[in-house]
Amino acid sequence: MKKLLLVFLAALLLPWGCAQAERRGILFIPHDDRPISYHQTVEVVESAGYEMLLPPKELLNSATDMGHPDELWQWLKENAPKAKSAVISSDSLLYGGLIPSRKHEVSQEDLDRRLESFKKLWQDNPRLKIYVFDSLMRTPYQGYEGNIEEPDYYEQYGADIFQYTRLLDKKELTGLSEQEQQELKKFEAAIPEADRRDWFGRREKNLAATKKLMDLTEKGFIDYLILGRDDNAPLCQTHRENREILAYAEEKNLSKSKFQSLPGIDEFNILLLNRAINDMTGNIPFVCVRYGLGKGGDTVPEFSDEKISDSVEASLRILGGLRTYSTRRADLLLLVNTERRGRTLETLNTCPTETDFVPDLKGDGGTRAFAKMVEEALAEGLPVGVADIKYANGADNALMNILEKKDLLFRLKSYSGWNTATNSTGFALGTGLLTGKMAADKKDHLLAVRYLDDWAYQGNVRSWVGTELVRNFGSYKYYYKLEDKLDFAQRRNTELMREFARKHLPQVPADFTVTNPWLRMFECDINFGS
C-alpha cells in the first residue's frame, strides 16, 4: 500500500506524457565485459527487435580493469529515466564486477552508500521495473597457477580451503566422524590465519550486502532479485551460506515470485532480459522440457548442488514462463543432452598436457538416442532448443557430428554447450524463446556463434591450442594466463577455427578472427568481417 501511494504521488509530480514518450527499451548493466556476459547476450535481445541502453564498455570489469562502480551509478542515474526496465548486476554496482566481488577491499561505508543507491534509484524512477542479479562467492575445489579470479593465496591453499569448508558444511548437516574431525583440524592448520581471515571476512561482508538487497526487495524497491551460486558443490562454503540465505528469505516471507537463489550466474543475463520483455508485453511463454536417457533430469552436474531439472524449473520461473507437458502447446521444446549415469564428463580442457586431444565422434547409445529425439522433434515441426550439458564446458562432439551429418544444425531454434550445465540450459532456454521474434538469418547467425564458440572452440580448438602451448613453451600455465603468448594463441585459434568452420560449418563465412579478450584460453570472442 505504501509503495502504491509513493507511485501515485510521483506520478503527480512528473509530466506523464513526456516521461512516457522518452522511455524506451531495457537498460542493462552486466557483471563484466566478457563476450557471453555482454555483447553476445545483447545481440540476442537486439536481434529480437528490442532496444538496449548500455553503459560505456570502459566502465565495466575487464581482464585488466576491476570496474568503476561509482561511475556506473552515475551513468545509471542519468539513463534510468529513459528506460522501461533495468536488468542490472549488483556485483558491478557494489564491487566493480563479478571477479572483483571475490577479491575486493571495498569499505563498509562505500558498500552501505551503494546499497542505499538502489532505494534512491526506485524513488527517482518509480515506474522503472528493476531486476537485479547478485552472486554468492564461489568455492572452487582447488587453485591453480595463473588464476585471476581468486585472491593470490587461493593458488596454494585453494584445495585446503575447499576441503575445510566441505567438512564445516557436513558438520552442520550430519556431524563428522572422528576421522573427519581430525581432517578438519588438519585443513584448518594448513591455511595461514591471515588468509583464512581475509577469505571468510570478505564472504561475511558480501553475505550481509546480499541480505540488504533482499530487504530492499521485500520492501518493493527491487522488483525481482536473483542470487547465483557459481562453481558450487553439494558440500562447501557456498552451500553453507545458501542455507542461511534461504532461511532469511523465509523469515522475510520472500516468495519465488520476488526472489530466487540457484546454481549458476552467467545465464541470468538472458533470463532476466526475457523476464523484462515478458513483463512489458504481458506474455507468458510455455516450455516443454525433455532429457536424455538414464538419470536425465536427476543429474546433479559438476559445479552445482542440485538436480538439473530443478535448475531448469528455476530458470523458467525467472523469465516468467510456465512448464507444459504438451509439445504442441510449447513455445519452445528444450531438449537437454545429459550423460546416462548422471555424470558430467570432462574434456582435456581442464589442464592441457602434451597429449593430443582426440574428440569422441562415435559416442554412446545415450548420445545417439538423444540425436534421434532431436531429429524426430524437428520432423514434427516443433521449435527445438538444445542444451548440451553432457560435457563440462564444451559440446558433445559425437552429438554435433550426428546433427551435422543429418543437416539439422540450423533447423534448431537455439543451442548452447558452453561452461557449466546451468549456463548452457539457461542460455538455450532464454535464446530459444526470443528467436521466434527474429528473422531467420539473425537466428542462424546466433546459432553460428554458438557452434563456433561452444563446439569448435570449447569442444576442440581450445584443447588443441592448449597442447601446442605446453609443447612449444613447456608449461600449462599459459593456458590460464597467456601473457606474452597471446599473439601466438590468437593466431592459432583463428587458423584452427577457420579450418573447423570450412569443414563443418560451410554456411558460415570464414573471414572471422578469434581473440582472447580476457588474456586466457578459457573464453574467446569471434569477430566477423575482419
Asked if 411 and 380 count as a contact pair (C-beta separation under 8 A), the reply is: no
User: DSSP code of 203?
Assistant: H
Q: Is 320 left (phi over 0), alpha (psi -120 to 50) or beta?
A: left
Radius of gyration for the chain, computed over Cα atoms and rounded to the nearest angstrom: 23
Q: What is the pLDDT of residue 244?
A: 97
CB-side neighbour CA atoms (13 Å) of 76: 29
Q: Is 261 exposed, middle or buried (0-12, 13-18, 19+ CB in 10 A)?
A: buried
* pLDDT tens, N- to C-terminus, the chain (530 residues): 444 444 444 444 443 233 344 567 999 999 999 999 999 999 999 999 999 999 999 999 999 999 999 999 999 999 999 999 999 999 999 999 999 999 999 999 999 999 999 999 999 999 999 999 999 999 999 988 778 899 999 999 999 999 999 999 999 999 999 999 999 999 999 999 999 999 999 999 999 999 999 999 999 999 999 999 987 889 999 999 999 999 999 999 999 999 999 999 999 999 999 999 999 999 999 999 999 999 999 999 988 889 999 999 999 999 999 999 999 999 999 999 999 999 888 765 567 877 888 888 988 999 999 999 999 999 999 999 999 999 988 999 999 999 999 999 999 999 999 989 999 999 999 999 999 999 999 999 999 999 999 999 999 999 999 999 999 998 888 998 999 999 999 999 999 999 999 999 999 998 999 999 999 999 999 999 75
User: DSSP code of 461?
Assistant: I
Q: What is the pLDDT of residue 42?
A: 98
Type of residue at 324:
T
Continuous segment of H or E residues that includes residue 337: strand 332-337
Domain ranges of the chain: 2-139+214-281, 286-474
Q: What is the pLDDT of residue 46?
A: 98
Q: What is the pLDDT of residue 22?
A: 58
The CA distance from 460 to 457, in Å, is 5
Q: What is the pLDDT of residue 3?
A: 44
Q: What is the pLDDT of residue 349?
A: 58
- At a CB cut-off of 8 Å and minimum separation 6, what does 74 contact? none
- Phi, then psi, of 50 in degrees rounded to 5: -105, 140
What is the DSSP annotation of 8-77?
HHHHHHS-HHHHHHH--SEEEE-SS--TTTTHHHHHHHHHTT--EE---GGGS-BTTB---HHHHHHHHH
Domain covering 2-139+214-281, topology: Rossmann fold (3.40.50)
The CA distance from 129 to 220, in Å, is 10
